[in-house]
Every structure is written in structure tokens, then in C-alpha cells.
Structure 1
Amino acid sequence: MSMQITDMQSSQTSIEGLQIITLKQVSDERGTVREFFRASALGDFGALRQINVTQSGYGAVRGLHGESTTKLVGCVAGAAFGAYLDARPDSASYGKLVTLELTAGTQVLVPPGVCNGFQSVSREGSQYLYCFTDEWYPGMPGTAFSPLDEGLGLDWPIPVQAGDPAQISAKDVAAAKFSEQTGSE
């Protein structure tokens, strides 16, 4: 195998401001080097203020959370099924849901107020990286909705048992249903 270079690409989704990013990567016989963050490629993204890594077991669901900060998210190990819900009432794409498979090399730029959630779909689990433009703090403005809201039409790839704490937190199960907030059910 000779050196292979994949250039960074970005595409807009049906949610205003939600972008899918394919990272620049260089592969050869030793493996692959990926750029995880390059400020000049993200325009007015802003400065990173906090980075978290979440280790999640097979089938675990986290979210749907829409904080008042921009997030750059992606898998650094394993794979996840990402779900993004526009919960911004003043947005032209309010109520839209975008889902996609996330593997190493794919990221999503999530604007403030767009809810982010994911399910770990790798047997060995996944590591999901969150980069924030603001530091998280208790009581940070934002919103959360139940990832089990049937009215969203969100089909998680692995069935979710609401009472299984290894799969989903009680807090996420008990969160408000977006479809009841909007009357779209």
C-alpha cells in the first residue's frame, strides 16, 4: 500500500448549521493519521474551551441534549449511530431529525440548541469525543428530550430497554418528549 491522502470535506444537512465533516487523513502501511481539529477549516467555530471523551458500551444511548454551546463531536474508537434534533423554535429547520453512522474520520458540527444523541453500535463499545466552545457547568442553558420519544420516529439500531441502566440513564428516559412539546404526535 502506498500513501493515500483523503482531503477534508464538509456538507450541510437538512438542519440549519449542522454539518457533517469528513476529516483529512493520511494512510499507509503503518495505519492512519487523522486531523481531528483544524480551526482554519471550521470558519467561525470559535475557540475550544472543553473536550470530553465518553466511553460507552454496546447498545448504550446518551442524549438528546441541546446545550447553549457549539459542539464538534465524533467517534475516536468504535462506531456510533448519531441523532441530531433541531430544538430551536426560531430555526427554519425546527423539528428536523438527522441520523447517521459515525466512525473514526467523520465528525458533526452541532450548533447551540440542536440536540445531540448517540448509540454505541460497536461490540467492543465506542469512544465519543465532544469538543465544546464553552465550558459546561451545572444549570447551563439548554434543553433535553427523551431519545425514546416514539413521536420522533427515531429508530435506534439496537433495541433500547428503558429500565436497563447499562443502556440508558433514568434522566434521559424521563426527559420531556419533543413530539408532545410541538404537538407533532
Structure 2
Amino acid sequence: MIKGLVVIEPKIYSDERGFFYEFFNRQQLLKYGVNEEFVQGNHSKSSFGVLRGLHFQIQRAQGKLIRVLRGEILDVVVDLRKGSETFGEYFKIVLSESNRKILFVPKGFAHGFLTLKENTEIEYLCTDFYAPDFDSGILWNDKDLNIDWELEKYDLKEDDLIISEKDKNQGTLKEFIEKGGEIN
């Protein structure tokens, strides 16, 4: 795993009534070395085969605490931290309503996900506010990144994916580097 990323597997209390778990606990995050203040919460719903990303803000970078409420995603992050030993490398993980894993992504990463089930809902807390003037991204299928989105595993083809025009037209990692390649 890339340094700075944290996967949390919360303790889940289940009985005949249902379940309970803490998805956010500052003391627990501090034990993992996460000392961030979260200022914004986002909730999104996507159909099967939606691919969102790879997004980041070039200024006012956001750390994110991500979980799936319903459905399942293949969550992918790319290290864009200048000077990092793993710059340009990616990490991926399946987050789902059944595994209840939570992923902390620090500032300096591009983030994206592929929905693996219909009506998937994710929630994420952010360490800074959305700043549209600094919104940026990297092309999800950048050949230099060579991310394995595992399409075949989920019986998907590239033509099946539902991708926004903005995400289809993002630049490559190489272009990001040529522009200075720095997230603040």
C-alpha cells in the first residue's frame, strides 16, 4: 500500500435488529496517524458502470475519508505528491456495503471510482471545501498509469462505461507533470 493511505475495517455490532458501527471517530483516526479536520461531507449515487475520476484540486487539496453506503465500488487513487517515492503509482480497493471498509486518502492524490452495482451510494468527508477554480483531473485510462479497472471481472467493456465528458477529456499524468505537476 502507498504510504499515507489508510484502510479502516471498523468493528461492526450486529444482531437481529441490524448493525451499528462508527464510520468516523477522531481518536481512532489519530491512532492511524490521521490528524485532519474534515470540513465538508459529500454523498453521491451512481448507476452500474459509472466511472468518476480521476479528480483532484491543484490548490486547496482535499484529503478524503470514503465509504460505501449501498452497493460496491472499485476505488482508485493515484499518488501525485511531489517528491513522493510512489509518485505516479496507484492503489485500488473494493469498498462495499458488505465489507464496510473505509479508505482515508491524504491530500495530494487523484481519486476515482467505478461503480460495480446499480444504485451505488458513497459518502466521503473532505479536509477542504470544493473549489471549482482549482478542480482538475487525470484521464482515467492514461496509458502511462496503466490502471487495471478490472472491467472483464465485472463483465464490462470500455464502451459500456458511463463517463462524463469532462472525465473523458482530462489530461494525462505526463501533461500534468509538464504543467508543473504540483498539488498545494
Moved segments of 4+, more than 3 Å: 179-183
Which residue matches 1:145?
Answer: 138
Counterpart residue type for residue 130 of structure 1: Y
Give the count of matched residue pairs.
Answer: 165
| Greater strand share, structure number | 1
C-alpha separation in 2, matches of 1:66 and 1:138: 10
53-62 or 31-40: which moved more? Answer: 31-40
Aligned match of 1:35? 22
Other-structure match for 1:131: 125
SS state at 1:155 partner: coil
* CA apart distance, 1:50: 0.5
Task: Give me the TM-score of the superposition, normalised by structure 1.
Answer: 0.81
Aligned match of 1:97? 90
Higher helix share: 2
Superposed, 1:58-97 pairs within 5 Å as 58-67=48-57, 68-97=61-90
- Identity, in percent, stands at 30
Give deviations 1:31-74, integer Å, cap 9, x for gaps.
Answer: 22121110111114322211010101000001111230211112
Q: Offset at 1:181?
A: 5.0
Task: Compute the displacement of 1:179 (Å).
Answer: 5.0
Tell me: higher relative CO, structure 1 or 2? Use CA pairs within 8 A at least 6 residues apart.
2
TM-score (norm 2): 0.81
Q: Deviations over 1:8-46 (max 9, x none)?
A: xxxxx2x22111111221111222212111011111432
Contact 1:60–1:167, Cα closer than 8 Å, also in 2:
yes
1:159 aligns with 2:157: yes
Query: Which structure 1 residue ranges, 5 or more long, are not aligned?
Result: 1-12
